[in-house]
Amino acid sequence: MVDVEFLIQFLARWGHIAFGIAWIGLLYYFNFVQGGYMAAASAEAKVDAFTKLVPSALWWFRWAALLTFLTGLLLLWFVMVTGQLSSDILVGVVMATLMLINVWFIIWPNQRIVIASNEAVAAGGEPDPNQGAAAGKALLASRSNTLLSLPMLFFMTSSAHYKLGGAWNEGTTELIVALLIVLAIELNAIFGKMGPITTVRGVITSSLALTAIMWLLMVWL
């Protein structure tokens, strides 16, 4: 006899992992691979990439992000039904939600401006004067998502294999501090500057440091 609820939960977890690999994998591709190529490429090569490669990559990127989020919501529902919502899950969910918002409402709209500008150049027209500003906004949001990615993955993993912080409604100090840190990062993604996450090395180092800080918050507060 098939346990339907267990099967749905298993398929949701399987899909969540598969879509998550696609989402975060493309996030790392954009930040660690494509960014370096664009910086060194000729003007003609950039136009070619932004008219042929980037639109396709962004299609997979944004839909993988959405499907990761939706399957995650289904898993979260199962967790809440069983009364096992812990602080680490909640912080991870908030991080993932903000990352999704960044993809759909900052990165994608601004990259559309960049793509349209390059399509105009490819057709013999002039670039959009707003292209530079749009690219900067998209890059800051993308770097911020990269910064959040390692602690988000850490908490998503710990929620199943290494519980941190206890129940979300018991120990609130660590939860409040962690959420304030995440909020500050998101505000910087919208209104701030690149700072230490400008370079690939910088964003990786910062993400590892943020993971350690978040872990210590859950352990010691």
For 171, which DSSP code?
-
Residue 61: exposure state from Cβ atoms within 10 A (0-12, 13-18, ≥19): buried
pLDDT tens sequence for the chain (221 residues) = 778 988 999 999 999 999 999 999 999 999 999 999 999 999 999 999 999 999 999 999 999 999 999 999 999 999 888 877 888 899 999 999 999 999 999 999 999 999 999 999 999 999 999 999 999 999 999 999 999 999 999 998 887 766 666 565 566 788 899 999 999 999 999 999 999 999 999 999 999 999 999 999 988 86
Distance CA 62, CA 107 (A): 9
Which pTM value belongs to this model?
0.94
pLDDT at 14: 97
DSSP codes joined into one string, 78-122: HHHHTT--BHHHHHHHHHHHHHHHHIIIIIHHHHHHHHHHHHHHH
What is the radius of gyration, based on Cα positions, of the chain?
19
Amino acid sitting at position 191: F
Q: In terms of C-beta density within 10 A (0-12 exposed, 13-18 middle, 19 or more buried), how is residue 78 classed?
A: middle
Q: Are 90 and 168 in contact (CB under 8 A)?
A: yes
Burial class of residue 181 (count of CB atoms within 10 Å of its CB; 0-12, 13-18, 19+): middle
Rounded to an integer, what distance in angstroms lies between the CA atom of residue 92 and that of residue 75? 13
Residue 86 is predicted with a pLDDT of 85
H or E stretch including 139?
A: helix 131-161
- C-beta separation of 211 from 150 below 8 A: yes
The rounded distance, in Å, linking the Cα atoms of 199 and 193 is 13
